[in-house]
A and B are shown apart, each in its own frame.
Chain A
Amino acid sequence: MNFQEIILQFDRYWAKQGCAVIQPYDLEKGAGTFNPATFFGSLGSKPASVAYVEPCRRPGDGRFAENPNRLGKYYQYQVIIKPPAENIQQLYLDSLKAIGIDQAEHDIRWIEDDWESPTLGASGAGWEVWLDGMEVTQFTYFQRMASFELNPVSVEITYGLERLAMFAQKKKNIFEIKWNDRLTYGELHKSGEEQFSHYNFEEADVENLRSNFDRWEKEAARLAAGYYLPAFDLVLKCSHNFNLLDARGAISVSERAVLIKRIREIARACALSYLNEPARAGEATNA
């Protein structure tokens, strides 16, 4: 099954399970969890079911397109369901069947891995799902988001699309994945990997990144109370800038913790503002 067909199958499958299939959010982010649909969607008590593809950027993971397993930019398929269905594990296994992976023919194991994102003040309990030994999914019951305890909790299913495609197509090199029947992943993305690796590791202007961080942080703090959506965009920008600074090797150990805390605080301000909206007055949340 080619790459785009996997996405189409997932869209179809999760739509059938009642998910709104939405589109990626148009800003740089390190993981699908940063999409406002997940960040705000997991807060409050209103039920939510969404599925979407999310392109993710992890500047430090880039390898100049030389490593067959590592990318600085890749695609996640993200599903958020609140509250989680009782048979959610089975729903997940059935979703693999939808892309042609039948558990009866493979080994699927759930390896403890309690995910957390200090930047978002988020944590959960869950697993890495291993398909014949390869990690293909992160499966998490969120417990906290933006430092708020969640009630009800959401389940987040994050598939690594490239991993699944490599598995399905028996490829040992990401760049050889068939995107459709004509194009390969490499044809679409190899130049990007090369150029962005140079930019991320060597070229990005550290001074510029630092001053952007400071200004966006200030603006986010100013906006959060009234306009949490634009403020959250600035949280995403700060977070991506942090990742770039990190890839440039510009962050010391002690500074790292400080910067992460600064992002976490503006993210929390956005969450607080969202929860305080009159529209959510009836929703029970435990702060």
Chain B
Amino acid sequence: MLKDALLEIRIENIPARFVISAEEQLKKYAAQLLAAANLPCAGIEAYGTYKRLVLYISGVPARTGEKVQKAYGPAARLLKGADGNYTPQAAGFARSRGTTPDKLGVETLPNKGEVLVFESRLPGRPAVKALAEIFPGIVSRLQFPKNMVWEATRFRFARPIRGLLALHGDKPVAFALAGIRAGRITVGLSAKGSRQIKIPSAEKYFKALEHANVVVKDADRRETLRRELERLSKRMKLKVEADPELLEENLYLAEYPVCVVAGYSQEFLALPPELVHLVMKKQFFFTVAGQEGVLQPYFVGIRDGVSRGQRNVEEGFRNVLEARFRDAVFFYTRDLAEPLSGFSLKLAEITFQEKLGTMRDKTGRVEKLTAWLCGASGAAVDREDMLLAARHVYTDLASGLVREFTELQGVMGYYYAKNAGLSEAVSKIVGEFYRPVSAGSPLPSSAGSALVSLAGKLDTLACAFSLGLIPSGSEDPHGLRRQALGAVRIALENNLRLDFRAAVSEAFAALPPEAPPGAPGPLLDFLWQRAEAVLAGEGCRFDEIKTVREFFMAGADLPDCRERVRDIHSLRADPDFAGIATAFKRARNILRQARSPLNGLPDEGSFEKDEERVLYGEIQAMSGRLKAHLAGRDYAKGLSELLSIKGSLDNFFDKVMVMAEDPKVRDNRLNLIKSLVMLVEGVADLSQLQ
């Protein structure tokens, strides 16, 4: 009969960010280990709270399936000798497996050819026995960004494990781990005294915990919380801003989330709204807004527990929040009283990187790059505004508030620039300097703002690559991928006609003389990889994107690269296109066999066959139009021109033997092909297409 199996790992408050990955891992390893043990199941689910990780396997039979085990022996030809008797090798192998040579079979293995094999069948065994090995196996496999030890066996886990509950139906699954014996005991909600609960069977687990005020399933807690926030919004006739990130965070701070609503003093709404949001977020509180998103002096906090002492919690939450606000007001007021030039001076005292000077030096480089980009990008921008803004992009780093709330770099820069009397446009450029702050978040809102932001990113990247801090694998401590992605998105969305090769070398040239010599090539390639990701995200295929890589590396601007890729992508549906691509590849391969240098200028008088003449005629007729399309960046039309010669190209390859005996004829034909290849290469490297 099928029963459900359950594993609950009870831990001391595991951080939210660990739980979600742990749930995925629980499911993955459970599937692997169940399959290896030949123990089927109907479904595998995982849940988590800050206090428990739960693996729930439904429909598990009482016994594992029979398992076939194979042992491989010597080569099959060694089974019998010339005399027809079993060889000593075969007999020895059989003996070592406790059988006789007549029970041996033959199987072909990939690297070894035919070998002798002995198949034995292990009978099924009780599921609880198998689970007693599977469960600890799963727990030991779980990986966390950070582990610790806490007891004598020095088992490593994210946080101390304080209990193990393991059942198959109503039967306990017996094992021990980290000095703890698995049993059928768990505990209820901490706020209600963590009362012990005996779980009669896996199937009754969720109900039993619900009675003990623990909502085990993440989705249930999320749903409860969302409904509760909506209900509060309605009641207050305001909007509780359910920031999704904050909502997730809260889900893993409470096993039984209860909302706490309270107000705070109106005076704090004079603070910049971004600051109000951040202070709230640090306390895990939701903000409340009225019409048109204007903040109102209320907050919603989540507590872990039932509603006893609700007044205490309300008051406590409010006191802490107001104390934090008062701190913010203290810094903000002081910062507003300090002139911008004061901050600028202080930047000279903030080291950026040992060999790359101070933040003041970095500011100088951003100004320089901004000036260069103004000229190089061809964008219509207000140069004066941009240079003024560039001078202040880092000034808020010297402010008290940003030192306390580093997340607000840039954002505060806007307020301090405004406060110093700079125009809205200039202040906005300062405020948007760090955009985009994450993969999908907004870009700088104007072309000028975009260029200053790009200047900052180019400098940061050049600095890192100069110091050899190049991200590898999943490691990217300095967030360089995000910087590069930001640079690429800015270039694409502002349609910047910018030669990144030149921009990168400009950025390296601006570094101080004592900086280690940089590697512009790797940085350019690093930027290209982000561009590939963006283009792929827009629906282009990787082989299509690769056809323009060399263009980018040689200085083509990103919008141009994107045009080419998009046009290849859409023309690819045309049946003739594949033919052209194949013919192009073939032509390139043939050219590799050439022994003398080619210039792509065949001598018409030396053509021997009509197919040669016709093809060359068409190429010549088409080339002028093609070049005009390329000059006008109309790659779709350019590609159609190429498609127009498909017929004569096919005829040529069908009827003409390029590698003729006579070297003169041969080279002339090679030059004919070369003339075509040169044209095609002006559009894209079609040989990359798969």
Contacts and interface: CB of A to CB of B under 8 A. Distances in A.
Question: Which of A104, A114, A172: most chain B CB closer than 10 A?
Answer: A104
A84 B148 CA distance: 13
Interface stretch (A7-15, A127-135, A185-193): A127-135
Contacts of A103: 190-191, 193
A114 B13 CA distance: 13
A104 B193 contact: yes
B194 A90 contact: yes
B320 A105 contact: no
Interface in B316-354: 316-317, 319-321, 323, 326-327, 330, 349-351, 354
A3 to B, nearest CB: 18
A93 B193 CA distance: 9
A164 to B, nearest CB: 12
B319 A172 contact: yes
A132 B262 CA distance: 13
B305 interface: yes
B12 interface: yes
Contact of A109 (B148, B253, B315): B253
Contact of B146 (A114, A153, A253): A114
Given A114-B146, A253-B350, A83 B151 contact: yes
A134 to B, nearest CB: 5
B304 A107 contact: yes
Nearest to A171: B319
Contact of B319 (A83, A109, A134): A134
A214 interface: no
Given A107-B304, A151-B154, A69 B190 contact: no
Residue of B13, B327, B351 with most partner-chain A CB within 10 A: B13
Given A132-B320, A151-B154, A107 B149 contact: no
B191 A127 contact: no
B357 interface: no
A246 to B, nearest CB: 14
Given A151-B154, A152-B152, A132 B192 contact: no
Interface in B179-230: 190-194
Interface stretch (B306-314, B375-383, B516-524, B638-646): B306-314
Nearest to B149: A153
Interface string B152-192: 10100001101000000000000000000000000000111
Interface in A67-110: 67-69, 83-84, 86, 89-90, 93, 103-110
A93 B308 CA distance: 17
Contacts of B150: 84, 141, 153
Nearest to B163: A86
B191 A104 contact: yes
A167 B309 contact: no
A125 interface: yes
Contacts of A83: 151-152
Given A107-B305, A125-B146, A151-B154, A133 B317 contact: yes
A67 B315 contact: no
Given A89-B12, A125-B159, A151-B154, A134 B320 contact: yes
A112 interface: yes
Given A83-B152, A141-B160, A133 B320 contact: yes
Contacts of B146: 114, 125
A252 interface: yes
B15 A112 contact: yes
A112 B13 CA distance: 8
B303 interface: yes
B50 A110 contact: yes
Nearest to B162: A86
B316 A107 contact: yes
A143 B147 CA distance: 10
B281 to A, nearest CB: 13
Contacts of B308: 104-105
Interface string B54-85: 00000000000000000000000000000000
A68 B354 CA distance: 38
Interface in B255-308: 260, 283, 301, 303-305, 308
A213 B50 CA distance: 45
Given A133-B283, A133-B301, A105 B13 contact: no
Contacts of A90: 194
A208 interface: no
Nearest to B317: A133
Choose among A83, A114, A125 the residue with the greatest number of B CB atoms under 10 Å from its CB.
A125
A254 interface: yes
Contact of A252 (B303, B323, B351): B351
Nearest to B311: A105
* A: contact size bracket: 35 or more
Contacts of B193: 103-104
A110 B49 CA distance: 13
A151 B521 CA distance: 49
Contacts of B349: 252
A111 B302 CA distance: 14
Interface string A254-272: 1000000000000000000
B224 to A, nearest CB: 17
Contact of A132 (B160, B317, B350): B317
Contact of A125 (B148, B152, B260, B316): B148
B334 to A, nearest CB: 12
A95 to B, nearest CB: 15
Nearest to A132: B316
A254 B353 CA distance: 10
Contacts of A143: 148-149
A8 to B, nearest CB: 24
Contacts of A104: 191-193, 305, 308-309
Given A105-B309, A107-B303, A107-B305, A132 B152 contact: no
A133 B316 contact: yes
Contacts of A131: 316
Nearest to A124: B148
Nearest to A93: B190
Contacts of B313: 106-107, 132-133
B78 to A, nearest CB: 52
Interface in A117-161: 124-125, 127, 131-134, 141, 143, 151-153
B544 to A, nearest CB: 44
Contacts of B315: 132, 170
A108 B308 CA distance: 13
Contacts of B151: 83, 86, 152
A141 B148 contact: yes
B316 A106 contact: yes
B431 to A, nearest CB: 26
B330 A134 contact: no
Interface string A54-77: 000000000000011100000000
Interface in B501-516: none
A67 B317 contact: no
Nearest to B15: A112
Nearest to A141: B150
Contacts of A133: 283, 301, 313, 316-317, 319-321
B287 to A, nearest CB: 15
Contacts of A107: 191, 260, 303-305, 313, 316-317
A131 to B, nearest CB: 7
B255 to A, nearest CB: 11
Nearest to A170: B315
B286 to A, nearest CB: 14
Nearest to A66: B330
Nearest to A113: B15
Given A107-B305, A141-B148, 14 more contacts: A89-B12, A103-B190, A107-B316, A109-B254, A110-B50, A112-B13, A132-B313, A132-B319, A133-B301, A133-B319, A141-B160, A151-B154, A153-B149, A172-B323
6 contacts: A83-B151, A106-B312, A109-B254, A110-B12, A151-B154, A172-B319
Question: Nearest 9 A-B pairs (CB), nearest first?
Answer: A132-B316, A105-B309, A107-B303, A110-B13, A112-B15, A125-B148, A133-B320, A253-B351, A133-B317
